[in-house]
Amino acid sequence: MSKLLIIFGLVLLMTVPVSLAQAQVPAPTSAGAQYEGSGTAVVSDSSGLSDKITFSMTGVTRPGPDQTYEGWLVNSTTGDIQSTGVMKVDGSNKISHSWVSPDGDNLIEMYNSVVISVEPVPDSSPDSPSSIKPFSGSVSSVAMTHIRHLLVSWPEGSDAGILTNLNGQIDVAIQHVNLARGSSTIEGVLTHTQHVINVVDGSGGPSDGIGIVAHAKDRSHAGLAGASVATEAAKVEAAGANAEAWALEAKEAAENVLDQSSVTIAKALLNTVAGRLDAARNGISATGRGGGEQAYVSAQMMATYSLSSGDIGTPATGDTSIPMLAQMLLAGSLSLLVAGSFLFYRSRRVSRVRA
């Protein structure tokens, strides 16, 4: 009996190193640290306002066999998600991928984060991202609030943003300066020239009651968006200031037209009005000075998502129950060895006494 206890104890003792070795075997993991790459996701206009997003990344780790990357737009407040499609990594380890909302959704209005997930092929859950999300980016709530004021809704609840309204009113002014230039009578010229002045000031038809100058001054929302978007916000400020200044120059030139009684002279003066309004809308490329359009694009760039790899969390290494089991085996084997040795020693002693 004593020998059996000793043998059994030795067998158990031999299993302890095996158990400890198993405890060190890493469990399957999908750590973000194994994915590399960086880049941006930028929103722009396609068929509608801010309805397109473009992913541009370099140094991207290729996904494993039967896997692919997929982009997602996320609203962190409502939980709404939208797939932007499967992405391919080219031979230079780059991703160049664009997606346009088929419904013309304003992506800046609806979302504030992006995620790139690793999906199986085929994908059994195509309507939601997997748990492996090696790349992501977001815009802070403070920044996004003021970006939306610039591009989506101001005052809040309205259906257009500050810069959208600015460019819309400049377009109205351009329409009426062209109507004035096309008029055959001085009365027609003067009527449409007055309309240009009204639109700049925001007083009288066909203005929206706010006007180009007031919309341009509201560009100050860009500066309220915070330090994280300060570079593009400064461009919004500069281009918006240019648009305001050129619109005021157009108004001054239009006031000179109102003093004319000659159609020919009035139309000649309208060339200056038209030139200033075009600059207010599109900037002057020769000098690099932006106008309303450049302010709008810079506001969209404020909503750029910076994408980089990061550890998305790793499971615990091995099975945490194995070390505990190994300790129990060690204690049991030692108990058996001690008990077996004691019985063996006792039986030998009894045998000697009898002898």
Q: Identify the band that residue 339 occupies on the pLDDT scale cut at 50, 70 and 90.
A: low
The sign of the dihedral angle between the CA atoms of 119, 124, 125, 127 is positive
Mean pLDDT for 38-42 is: 98
Each domain of the chain, given as residue ranges in start order, spans: 32-138, 146-300, 326-355
Task: Look over the chain and give the mean of its residue pLDDT values, rounded to a whole number.
Answer: 86
Alpha-carbon gap, residue 200 to 349, rounded angstroms: 116
Kindly list the distances between the CA atom of residue 231 and the CA atoms of 91, 158, 197, 302, 303, in Å, as whole numbers in the listed order.
33, 27, 33, 8, 12
How is the beta sheet containing 113-120 ordered, strand by strand? 81-87, 67-74, 113-120, 135-138, 305-309, 38-44, 52-58, 95-100
Report pLDDT for 340.
Answer: 52
Q: Give 237-265 pLDDT, tens digit per residue.
A: 999 999 999 999 999 999 999 999 999 99
Q: How many CA atoms within 13 Å lie on the side-chain side of 188?
A: 11
Instruction: Please name the residues in contact with 170: beta carbons below 8 A apart, sequence gap of 6 or more.
Output: 212, 243, 247, 277, 280, 281, 291, 292
Report pLDDT for 346.
Answer: 56
Mean pLDDT for 102-121 is: 97
Q: Alpha helices, DSSP H only, in the chain?
A: 2-23, 107-110, 141-151, 162-182, 186-201, 211-217, 230-257, 263-282, 292-302, 321-354
The CATH architecture of the domain made up of 32-138 is Sandwich (2.60)
Q: Give 282-326 pLDDT, tens digit per residue.
A: 999 999 999 999 999 999 999 999 998 864 332 333 444 444 544
Length of the chain: 355
Mean pLDDT for 51-67 is: 96
The DSSP result for 292-341, as a single string, is HHHHHHHHHHHTPEEEEE-----PPSS-THHHHHHHHHHHHHHHHHHHHH
